[in-house]
Structure 1
Amino acid sequence: MDNPFLLSPDQSLASLTSPDAITASTHAMNAAVAKALAAITPPDGLPALREAYVRGELGLPTAPKSPRARTLTIEGPAGPIGLRILVPDEVWGVYLHIHGGGWIVGSNDTWDEQLEYFGREAGMVSVSVDYRLAPEHPAPAAIDDCVAVASWLIEHAEREFGTSWLSIGGESAGSNLAVLTLLRLRDAGKGDAFRAASLLYGVFDLSLTPSVFRVTGAPFISLEAMQQFTGAFAGVRDLKDPTLSPLYADLHDLSPALFSVGSSDPLLDDSLFMFMRWQAAGNLAHLAVYPGGTHGFNTLNGELAAAGNRGVAKFLKAMRTEVAG
Structure 2
Amino acid sequence: MTELDPRLDPEIAGLLAFLAAAGTPPMSEGTPAQARQGFRTLAVDLRDPASVPDVASVVDTTVPGGAGDRPARVYRPAEGPLPTVVLLHGGGWVIGDLDTHDVMARSIAALCDCVVVSVDYRLAPEHPFPAAVDDALAATRWAAAHLDELGGTDRLGVAGDSAGGNLAAVVAQTLRDEGTPLAAQLLVYPGTDFTADFPSRTENAEGYFLDQATMLWFAAQYVGDAAPDTLADPRLSPLHGRLDGLAPAVVAVAQFDPLRDEGTAYAEALRGAGVPVELASFDGLIHGFVDMGRHSKAAQAAVEETCRLFRGLLHG
> Is TM (by shorter chain) over 0.5?
yes
Matched position secondary structure for 1:295: coil
Q: 1:40 aligns with which of 5, 11, 23?
A: 23
- Which moved further from structure 2: 148-157 or 307-316? 307-316
> Are 1:93 and 1:163, in contact at CA under 8 Å, matched by a contact in 2?
yes
> Any residues of structure 2 matched to 1:1-325 within 5 Å, and which?
22=7, 26-42=9-25, 44-56=30-42, 64=49, 68-91=57-80, 92-190=82-180, 192=181, 194-207=182-195, 208-237=197-226, 238-300=230-292, 301-322=295-316
Matched position secondary structure for 2:148: helix
Residue 47 of structure 1 deviates from its aligned partner by 1.4
What is the TM-score when the length of structure 1 is the normalising length?
A: 0.84
- 2 CA distance for matches of 1:209 and 1:251? 20
Per-residue CA distance 1:42-101 (angstroms, 9 max, x = gap): 37422122122122179x966757793211113322111111111111432112110000
- 1 CA distance for matches of 2:96 and 2:47? 10
One-letter amino acid of the structure 2 residue matched with residue 276 of structure 1: E
- Which moved further from structure 2: 65-74 or 260-269? 65-74
- 1 CA distance for matches of 2:225 and 2:312? 41
What is the TM-score when the length of structure 2 is the normalising length?
A: 0.86
Indicate the residue corresponding to 1:6 in structure 2. Answer: none
- 2 CA distance for matches of 1:228 and 1:29? 24
Give unpaired runs (5+ residues) of structure 1.
1-18
- 1 CA distance for matches of 2:64 and 2:268? 37
CA RMSD of aligned residues (A): 2.4
Matched position secondary structure for 1:269: helix
Q: Number of residue pairs matched?
A: 298
Give unpaired runs (5+ residues) of structure 2.
none
- 2 CA distance for matches of 1:143 and 1:312? 24
> Are 1:93 and 1:167, in contact at CA under 8 Å, matched by a contact in 2?
yes
Residue 292 of structure 1 deviates from its aligned partner by 1.0
